[in-house]
Amino acid sequence: MQLLLYGVLLTFVVFAALAVAFLRDILSAIIAFAGFSFGVAIVYILLRAPDVALTEAAVGAGVTTVLFLLAIVRTVRPGGDRLFERVAWGPAIIATGLVGVLLTTVRSLPTIGDPTSPVATSEITRYYLENAYPQTEVENVVTAILAAYRGFDTLGEAAVVLAAGLAVLVVLRKEVYV
Amino acid sequence: MSATDGSLSAYVESTIIMTTVRVVSPFVFTFGLFVMFHGAESAGGGFQGGAIVASSIIMLAFAFGIEPTREWLDDSVIRLLVGVGATTFVGIGIGALAFDGAFLEYAAYGISHGVKYGIELVELGIGAIVAGVIVSLFMNLAGGFNHDSGGDDA
């Protein structure tokens, strides 16, 4: 049952990704991309990573889609009524080759939920699982690691987000800082 | 076919969208705050909560038009939100130094449950930054170039 669900979802995700690449109309491609992000978010939920799933659903499927939509308002639709883009064979061969190379590494990944996988048996994992609650009194270990153990890294991430906002203000000349 | 003239020509008033957004957006906003505040106990946190809060605002802008939303929620309010968020995060980090702790060492404050409150506050700060930046990205990209800032662009 679980396997069937994974199969359906991953097939959907792959086809959505191909649709993004090949659809000629940019609006359709953006909608396919939102569908792709949403499928990936559900895969993350099945893999028991709700924090990542929330981010993917909110940012990938929601905000990015809206920003893309804003961008294409300023473009014109290509003429003609072909549904799909012509395949450019050079890049297609390179991309397929790259995917093939990456697929060879799949065999060395641990199976899902494998208790003997390096991540599950690692000393660091054990340390966080045992000490996160006594030391921080926060029940979500992910939050404990992000905001306490790795607080400095998270500050860096916040700075990146801030820099993105400032960069847009400067580039669009809403504020003159330079 | 050309949509390049005027940045708001894409807006179409739709009763269905407006009614749906009017009903849904308060719940989305509340859910975003929940994810932000409850990130310490369940899945979520500042980044996710901030993105959800921002999307509830973007929803409003989609339904009611970008200019009315901008009039309702001024740019300076959003910038203030981002500033307060960043100041909270950095302030808590530097504040720990004053109590002989390391940067961002919440335990240094010496309050009971200090680490937990520190984490919660930092999450709220992140949420404010993320929500503010996403809304301001949306508003500014929708507004386009400020043509009257003079001079030719190099």
Residue of B nearest to A168 (CA): B137
**Does the residue B8 lie in any domain?**
no
Residue B149 lies in a domain: no
In this prediction, residue A175 carries a pLDDT of: 61
Do A101 and A136 share a domain, yes or no?
no
Range of the structural domain that residue A127 is part of = 114-178
Do A164 and A150 reside in the same domain of the chain? yes
Same domain membership, residue A121 and residue A98: no
Which of the residue ranges A78-82, A127-131, B57-61, B110-114 would you say has the lowest mean pLDDT?
A: A78-82
Evaluate whether A166 touches B82 at the Cβ level (below 8 Å).
no
Task: Round to whole Å and give the CA distance between B143 and A57.
Answer: 26
Domain limits for position B82: 15-144
Q: Are residues A96 and A152 in the same domain?
A: no
User: A41 with A105, same domain?
Assistant: yes
> Distance between alpha carbon A115 and the CA centroid of its chain, in Å?
26
A1 with A69, same domain: the answer is yes
Phi, then psi, of B14 in degrees rounded to 5 = -135, 125
Query: Based on the domain organization, do A101 and A122 belong to the same domain?
Result: no
> Which CA distances in Å does B75 have to A124, B59, B130?
44, 17, 15
A65 and A121: one domain?
Answer: no
Q: What is the pLDDT of residue B10?
A: 59
Query: HEC profile for chain A?
Result: CHHHHHHHHHHHHHHHHHHHHHECCHHHHHHHHHHHHHHHHHHHHHCCCHHHHHHHHHHHHHHHHHHHHHHHCCCCCCCCCCCECCCCHHHHHHHHHHHHHHHCCHHHCCCCCCCCCHHHHCHHHHHHHHHHHHHHCCCCHHHHHHHHHCHHHHHHHHHHHHHHHHHHHHHCCCCCCC
For residue B144, what pLDDT is reported? 63
Residue A177 pLDDT > 60, yes or no?
no
A165 vs chain B: nearest CA distance in angstroms? 5
Same domain membership, residue A91 and residue A16: yes
Using the Cβ of A54 and the Cβ atoms of chain B, whether some distance falls under 8 Å is answered with yes
Please check whether residues A141 and A158 belong to one and the same domain. Answer: yes
Is residue B112, in this structure, part of any structural domain at all?
yes
Interface of B with A in 65-84 (CB under 8 A): 75, 82
Instruction: Among A59, A140, A154, select the one facing B40 at the smallest CB separation.
Output: A140
In a domain, B56, yes or no: yes
Binned at pLDDT 50, 70 and 90, residue B4 comes out as very low
In chain B, the number of structural domains is 1
pLDDT reported for residue A93? 95
Residues A152 and A169 in one domain: yes
The partner residues of A84 in beta bridges, in order of sequence, read A23
pLDDT in tens, A24-62: 888 899 999 999 999 999 999 998 888 889 889 988 888
SS3 B105: coil
Cβ within 8 Å of B, A 143-172? 143-144, 146-148, 151-152, 154-155, 157-158, 161-162, 164-165, 168-169, 172
| CB-nearest partner of A158 from B4, B89, B116 | B89
Q: Is the pLDDT of residue A83 over 90?
A: no
Which residues in B lie closer than 8 A to residue A140 (C-beta atoms)?
A: 39-45
**Using CA atoms, how far apart are residues A161 and B130, in angstroms rounded to an integer?**
7
Q: Are residues A143 and A126 in the same domain?
A: yes
- Amino acid occupying residue A119: V
Given this model, what pLDDT does residue B153 score?
43
Any residues with CB less than 8 A from the CB of A14 and at least 6 apart, and which? none
The pLDDT confidence band at residue B69, using thresholds 50, 70 and 90, is: confident
Is the pLDDT confidence value at A72 over 70? Answer: yes
Q: Which of residues 36-65 of B touch A (CB under 8 A)?
A: 39-48, 51-52, 54-55, 58, 62
CATH code for the domain in which residue A29 is found: 1.20.120.1200
Per the structure, how many domains does chain A have? 2
Residue A176: pLDDT above 70?
Answer: no
Q: Please provide the average confidence, as pLDDT, over all residues in chain A.
A: 87
DSSP state of B62: H
Q: Which of B113, B116, B140 sits opposite A172 (nearest CB)?
A: B140
What distance in Å separates residue A21's CA from the closest CA in chain B?
24
